[in-house]
Amino acid sequence: MTEKVLILDFGSQYTQLIARRLRELRVFCEIHPCTVDDGFVRGFGAGAVILSGGPASTLEAGSPRAPGAVFGLGVPVLGVCYGEQTMCLQLGGSVEPGRVREFGRAEIELVRETPLFDGALRVGGRSLVWMSHGDKVGRLPDGFEVVATSPASPFAAIADEGRRFYGVQFHPEVHHTEIGRDLLANFCLRIAGLKGDWSMAAYRGEAVARIREQVGDGRVICGLSGGVDSAVTALLVHEAVGERLTCVLVDTGLLRKNEAREVINLFRGHFNVPLVHAEAGAAFMAALDGVGDPEAKRKAIGRTFIDVFEAESARLGGADFLAQGTLYPDVIESVSFKGPSVTIKSHHNVGGLPERMRMRLVEPLRELFKDEVRELGRELGLPAAFVGRHPFPGPGLAVRILGEVSPDKVAVLQEADAVFLDAIRGAGLYDAIWQAFAVLLPVRAVGVMGDGRTYEWVVALRAVTSVDGMTADAYPFEFGFLSKVATRIVNEVKGINRVTYDCTSKPPGTIEWE
């Protein structure tokens, strides 16, 4: 990476959005906690630096500061909200409590020309922005001038054009800020002079080169779950090391209908990737016997998955590296200034593999967001239907069967889920929905089918839309569609006589990932 922006995280809930907006501009960037030292900052090779917002007050003792090296790099620096305030304090200005807090939409007025607002707003022009602050800048450091104001923020935007230091009290990264994209584009492309030519094709080549350098002559094993993340990881590593990669598909017996066969046909038949199919459904059913709590199910599946994966690895003669589809949001979460975590997801969301396996990680996707992984999948030649498939939880159908799990229940749910997804595809709705699935409820209902009385299971259907995968809304199906789906499921799936649709919205952070 020859051109990149360093984003220093002060704990803002919007920090990831800064990275997303820059990636949309084809500018590569990385988020790191504001606690990194001067040596890291100097060695990063940034073409520009952005200081994020944060929940703290710069007036509090011990509140975070930017590494001093940031202001000696000779590259443009943009402070956002808290980032503006700490920049002012560290460069000789002051911050004071605001008499009026600003949370939500506010209107700014441009009072001085600056390249930061070029093409977005003229002097005297006004625009809506998103504010989230209580304190405000009290005195500017030497060299700075006010370029925009708001009713509660006399220093809504500031600039030191000589050093190319800029600060905004608002958040240009959120979509509520009307000119936010223009400001970030001006900062990166005009002021910093970055080319904005980062592409997925370039990333592919760089990732393959890094994998070859890391792995050398070693052997790699990859847990291929059938999800997009593991599939793209497998194809990248295979491109880099060829036959020295072996993929292992642990067939838990809890996959979607025909999913194992589809994965095998694609990777063995189309891409010629070495693949071991570990059929372990009986072991997983034994581990789930009598287990009804959803979290207990996850842990039981996790332990069993590790045992099966470890046994397959040993049977193959072991490996030096484990390829894993860790994504950038997982990395950010693990190093976030708000609360570091030692847990990085595995493909199966079960806590990763134990240290006894003694393999080093290969994580070629750790710099990408989910939509970028899909773009890379298309670059690698994955079929569109595979790239765009809905997320599926690692524990599989076990967490979509409420209560205890049995082979009969799994078979019923597989069929119902397949009918639901088939109907969605037939109606041309699949790509408009983030995730759709069926849930087997722990109740039986009395019904009449033909001339006979039935006592069978009830299935619930859920479909949600999402922009970022962190919050979701129920998809607004037309009643006619739901009626047809319910009729199909009752008629085609033996063991179900009632269907309900869950039209509530999921709370933030509860979408089941691959």
**Residue 385 has which token pair?**
């239907």
**367 and 436 both lie in a single domain:** no
**Residue 381 sits in a domain of what CATH number?**
3.40.50.620
**262 and 317 both lie in a single domain:** yes
**253 and 330 both lie in a single domain:** yes
Domain of residue 231: give its range: 200-387
**173 and 208 both lie in a single domain:** no
**Residue 164 sits in a domain of what CATH number?**
3.40.50.880
What is the chain's mean pLDDT, rounded? Answer: 87
pLDDT in tens, 62-109: 899 999 999 999 999 999 999 999 999 999 999 888 666 667 788 999
Confidence of residue 342 (pLDDT cuts 50, 70, 90): very low
- The catalytic residues are 81, 171, 173
Would 37 be classed as within a structural domain?
yes
**184 and 206 both lie in a single domain:** no
Would 394 be classed as within a structural domain?
no
d(CA 426, CA 430): 8
pLDDT in tens, 272-311: 999 999 999 999 999 999 999 999 999 999 899 989 988 9
Alpha helices in 251-293 (DSSP H): 259-264, 281-288
Q: Could you tell me where the beta strands, DSSP code E, fall in 89-187?
A: 94-110, 126-139, 145-150, 153-160, 165-168
Domain boundary among 191, 222, 242: 191
- Is-contact 85 55, C-beta < 8 A? no
Nearest 5°: the CA angle 4, 6, 7 is 130
Would 511 be classed as within a structural domain?
no
Domain boundary among 333, 363, 387: 387
User: What is the domain count for the chain?
Assistant: 3
372: CB partners within 8 A, 6+ apart: 23, 200
d(CA 236, CA 264): 17
**250 and 358 both lie in a single domain:** yes
The reported pLDDT for the residue numbered 444 is 86
**45 and 114 both lie in a single domain:** yes
pLDDT in tens, 414-453: 999 999 999 999 999 999 998 999 999 998 887 766 666 7
Q: Is the dihedral of CA 313, 315, 316, 319 positive or negative?
A: positive
**173 and 307 both lie in a single domain:** no
Length of the chain, please?
A: 514
Domain boundary among 191, 222, 243: 191
**287 and 406 both lie in a single domain:** no
Would 506 be classed as within a structural domain?
no
Would 432 be classed as within a structural domain?
yes
